[in-house]
Amino acid sequence: MKTEKYPKLTIAGAGPGDIELVTIKTIKALQQADVVLYDALVNKELLKYVPLDALVIYVGKRNKYHTYTQEQINTLIVDLAFTRGHVVRLKGGDPFVFGRGQEEKKYAEAFNIETVVLPGISSSIGVPALNGIPVTHRGVSESFWVITGTTKENKLSKDVLVSAKTNATVVILMGLAKLKEITEVFKAADKEDTAIAIIQNGSLPNQAIAFGTIGTIVEIAEHENIKAPAVIVIGDVVKQHDDFPVALSNLNYLFN
């Protein structure tokens, strides 16, 4: 006789990429999953923890290409929870940092589906830290902003304009395509000499990093062939990286 499975949703953060940075609770959830819906920036090695008879579906979004709309993902979660049981929604970074985790949680709860949230290491903090860049540092930065570079209207977030007027560290996710716009905002705030780092594929073996200032980073990122996904860190905390002075002196020839 077939046992009826109890509908459940676990929304889990997969961290910045390195599978050793995922939480034990997330691994346990994957091991108990009947369904896994995973995003584009999730390390696929994590899927080895999923039972062989579980349903695994890629629902990622990259740039303008969406395999499923958010509305379709919401519907999938509910349908599969009732027909298969435990759905694990695996998201890159932390599911509540630009991950739309709360939207999915509320949608599932509207159908009386039990939901659990498992935090993950956000790339906004974890990736700079792995590279020796603290988002706060005594005497340098007392606070930090985490901003999406691109809104749902595909425009630069207005918060970037406000953050540029502060002394806070500014971390911008999903903003590489708008790097020139971002630098123009900071130039207008008289921050042309402010340090900046762009970290591509943070925490992974193929990580790449570019250092510069607001006034030089567009040319440097192009020269270094930096691509998305990347984390942008703006502020004097970037100077805490041991290679910052060397990197700038090595790239002086670009501007002479």
Express each pLDDT in 44-95 by its tens digit: 999 999 999 999 999 998 766 678 999 999 999 999 999 999 999 999 999 9
Can you tell me the distance from the alpha carbon of 6 to that of 86, in angstroms, rounded to the nearest whole number? Answer: 7
DSSP per-residue string spanning 178-235: GHHHHHHHHHHTT-TT-EEEEEESTTSTT-EEEEEETTTHHHHHHHTT--SSEEEEES
| Beta pairing partners, 211 | 197
Please give the average per-residue pLDDT across 87-109, as a whole number: 97
Question: How big is the chain by its Cα radius of gyration, in Å?
Answer: 20
Residue 2's pLDDT is what?
Answer: 44
As annotated, the active-site residues are 39, 61, 174
- Percent of the chain scored above 90 by pLDDT? 87
Please give the average per-residue pLDDT across 24-41, as a whole number: 97
Residues 6+ apart with CB under 8 A from 169: 135, 136, 141, 143, 144, 145, 233, 234, 235, 237
What domains appear along the chain, each with residue ranges and CATH number?
8-118 (3.40.1010.10), 123-255 (3.30.950.10)
CA 28 distance to own-chain centroid? 22
What's the mean per-residue pLDDT of the chain?
94
Residue 80 identity: L
Pairing of strands 114-118, 86-91: unpaired
Of the candidates 110, 212, 2, 187, the one whose C-alpha atom is nearest the C-alpha of residue 221 is: 212
Residues 6+ apart with CB under 8 A from 190: none
Tell me the per-residue pLDDT of 152-171, one tens digit each, with 9 for 90 and over. Answer: 888 999 999 999 999 999 99
Tell me the per-residue pLDDT of 191-206, one tens digit each, with 9 for 90 and over. Answer: 999 999 999 999 999 9
